[in-house]
Amino acid sequence: MDRPHLRVAVVGAGFVGRALVEMLSDPERQIALDDAATATLEIVGVGVRDVERSRPGVPRHLLTDKVLDLVSRDDVDIVVELMGGVDLAKSVAEIALGRGASLVTANKALMALCGTELARLANDHGADLMYEASVGGAIPIIRALRSSLAGERISRVIGIVNGTTNFVLSEMSERGLDYDTALSQAQALGYAEADPRADVEGFDAAAKVQILASLAIGTALEGQEISREGISSLRVVDVEFARRAGYVIKALGVIERVGEHGLSRRTHPALVPLDHPLASVHGAMNAVFVEGDKSGPLMWLGRGAGGEATATAVLGDLLHAARNRVAGRHDLPFTVDDRLYPVDEGDVSSVFYISLDVLDEPGVLAEVAGVFSRHDVSIQSMEQSGFAHEARLSFVTHLARTRDVTATLADLNDLTSVDRVGACIRVVDGGTA
C-alpha cells in the first residue's frame, strides 16, 4: 500500500533529540512507525549549534546550524523542537506553526510562557501543537487528560513532577542524608544541575503545574504566578519526624479546585501518608495523581527524564501529528474556562506540620500554645524532643487557613523562647494537600 510521505525537521540533537533520531531510524521499528503514522516519515534535517560535534546515531549529512532556515522549508510537515530555552525555540515554533507545519516540543518553559499564544497560532493555521514530553517525561499524562479524561471533572491533581527533588528527598528519608549531602549526591549522579535552583526552589515544577492546570481544569497556560515553595530548608529532623508520624516528605505540584470555580496552583514540600500511592514514588521517578469526580483516583508513574524515556513521549506526539496530517485534521486547542479564578493562597486550608527550635525551660510550651490559639490554629498532636540547645517542639495542626498559620509563625518568631521557626509543611489528606 502506498503511504503518504511526511518530512520532519528535528531541532536539537542533545539527550532527547539524538534518542528520537535513533528511534526514527531504527529498522526494527519501521513497520510500527509507518503504521502509527499512517505515513512514511523522513528526517530532512537536524538543527544543532555545533555541526562538527560527533553524534552517534545522527547522520552527519542531516546536521545544520541554520535552524531557522531548516524550519522555514516549505516541504517540512512537522517540526520537532528539542532545543530548550525560550527565545529561539519560540521563533522556531512561530515560523513552523505560522506556515501550517505541526510542532512537537518537549519544552515546558516555552509552553508555560507562550503556550496559549502558540496554541492559537497552531489552530489558526490548521496545525498541531503537541507537548506531551514537557511534563513527566515518558508519562503520557497530557494525552490522558486531553483524551481519556476529556469529559471528566478533575477536582485535584498532585504531581511528583521533578525528579531531582524527589531523588534528594528520597536520599534524605531512606539514607538519612542531610539536604546538602543528598543534593551533592544528586549532582554527582547527573540528576541535578550544577546550579540546582530551578529544581530545588520549585520553578521547574511550577511550569509543569501551569501546563497540567491548563489541561486538567482549563486555565490559560500563562498568567498568574504559581505559589512556590522549595525544599532547600528541609532538615533531617523534619524527615525523621515525618517517618515517626507515618509520613514521607515529597515535593509536590498541586492543582486543586476550591469551591465551584476557585483554583489553587502551587508547588511545595508536603507530608504524604505512607499508605498514599505517591509515597512509594522513589528516586528520580515522576508520578501524577489525578482525582476526578466520577473516575475517582488515578495515578501514572514513570521516568520523568532521561533522553530515551523522554523521546518516547516525543515520538508518540510525532506519530499522532503525522496521523492527523494524513487525515487532514488537527487537534483543537483546549478551551479556557473564563469562570476560573486563582484563589488567594492565604485562604486555602490545610493541615500543617510545624517545627520550632525552642529554649529548654519551663513555660515555653504554654507560651507557644497561646500563640496558636490566638490565631485560631488548633493543634492535633505535639511532640517534644531533644533538650538544652537542641530542644524542639513539633506540631501537627487541625485544618487551618494558610493565612492564620502564617500569622502564627510570624508571632512565634518574635518570642524570645523560640530560637528558630523550622519547617512549616502541609500534610496531604490531613484535610487537603
Ligand X SMILES: NC(=O)c1ccc[n+]([C@@H]2O[C@H](COP(=O)([O-])OP(=O)(O)OC[C@H]3O[C@@H](n4cnc5c(N)ncnc54)[C@H](OP(=O)(O)O)[C@@H]3O)[C@@H](O)[C@H]2O)c1
Q: Does 359 bind ligand X (CB under 6 A)?
A: no
d(CA 286, CA 301): 6
How many angstroms separate the Cα of 189 from the Cα of each of 170, 177, 194, 301, 306?
14, 15, 11, 21, 13
| Smallest distance from ligand X to CB 197, Å | 15
Q: Does 112 bind ligand X (CB under 6 A)?
A: no
Q: By C-beta, is 298 or 314 nearer to ligand X?
A: 314
Catalytic residue among 66, 90, 108, 208: 208
Q: Does 115 bind ligand X (CB under 6 A)?
A: no
- Cell 525555540, located at residue: 89
Q: Does 66 bind ligand X (CB under 6 A)?
A: no
Q: Does 17 bind ligand X (CB under 6 A)?
A: yes
d(CA 305, CA 163): 7
Whether 250 is catalytic is: no
Burial of 45 (0-12, 13-18, 19+ CB in 10 A): buried
Q: Does 60 bind ligand X (CB under 6 A)?
A: no
| Smallest distance from ligand X to CB 79, Å | 13
Q: Which residue is nearest to ligand X (CB)?
A: 14
Within 10 angstroms of residue 345's Cβ, the number of other Cβ atoms is 17
Q: Does 126 bind ligand X (CB under 6 A)?
A: no
| Smallest distance from ligand X to CB 312, Å | 11
Q: Does 14 bind ligand X (CB under 6 A)?
A: yes
Piece of 101-109, 121-129, 238-246, 286-294 that binds ligand X (CB under 6 A): 101-109
| Smallest distance from ligand X to CB 332, Å | 24
List binders of ligand X among 171-230 (CB under 6 A): none
| Smallest distance from ligand X to CB 268, Å | 22
> Which residue from 10, 118, 119, 137 is in contact with ligand X, where contact means CB under 6 A?
137
Q: Does 15 bind ligand X (CB under 6 A)?
A: yes
Residues 171/185, Cβ–Cβ less than 8 Å: yes
Cross-strand bridge partners of residue 300: 288
Q: Does 50 bind ligand X (CB under 6 A)?
A: yes
Within 10 angstroms of residue 88's Cβ, the number of other Cβ atoms is 16
Q: By C-beta, is 207 or 234 nearer to ligand X?
A: 207
Residues 204/137, Cβ–Cβ less than 8 Å: no
Q: Does 82 bind ligand X (CB under 6 A)?
A: yes
Q: Does 107 bind ligand X (CB under 6 A)?
A: yes
d(CA 258, CA 341): 10
CB-facing half-sphere around the CA of 324: CA atoms within 13 A: 22
| Smallest distance from ligand X to CB 387, Å | 46
Q: Does 13 bind ligand X (CB under 6 A)?
A: yes
| Smallest distance from ligand X to CB 339, Å | 32
| Smallest distance from ligand X to CB 51, Å | 7
Q: Does 88 bind ligand X (CB under 6 A)?
A: yes
| Smallest distance from ligand X to CB 108, Å | 6
Cell triple for 151: 469529559
Residues 358/391, Cβ–Cβ less than 8 Å: yes
> Which residue from 49, 60, 66, 197 is in contact with ligand X, where contact means CB under 6 A?
49
Tell me, by CB under 6 A, how many residues bind ligand X.
25
Q: By C-beta, is 138 or 263 nearer to ligand X?
A: 138
State whether residue 124 is helix, strand or coil: helix
Q: Does 288 bind ligand X (CB under 6 A)?
A: no
> Do the strands 349-358 and 400-401 form a parallel or antiparallel pair, or are they unpaired?
antiparallel
- φ/ψ of 308, rounded to 5, equals -70, -45
d(CA 25, CA 33): 10
Q: By C-beta, is 55 or 250 nearer to ligand X?
A: 55
d(CA 339, CA 55): 49
Sign of CA dihedral 272, 278, 280, 282: negative
State whether residue 426 is helix, strand or coil: strand
Q: Does 86 bind ligand X (CB under 6 A)?
A: no
- φ/ψ of 235, rounded to 5, equals -120, 160
Q: Does 83 bind ligand X (CB under 6 A)?
A: yes
- Rg of the chain over all Cα atoms, to the nearest angstrom: 24
Q: Does 47 bind ligand X (CB under 6 A)?
A: yes
Piece of 76-84, 181-189, 265-273, 359-367 that binds ligand X (CB under 6 A): 76-84
d(CA 364, CA 377): 17
Secondary structure (DSSP) of 250-305: EEEEEEEEETTTEEEEEEEEEEEETTSGGGG--TTEEEEEEEETTTEEEEEEEE--
Q: Does 106 bind ligand X (CB under 6 A)?
A: yes
What residues are labeled active site? 208
What are the residues binding ligand X (CB under 6 A)? 12-17, 47-50, 53, 67, 82-84, 88, 106-108, 133, 137, 305-307, 310
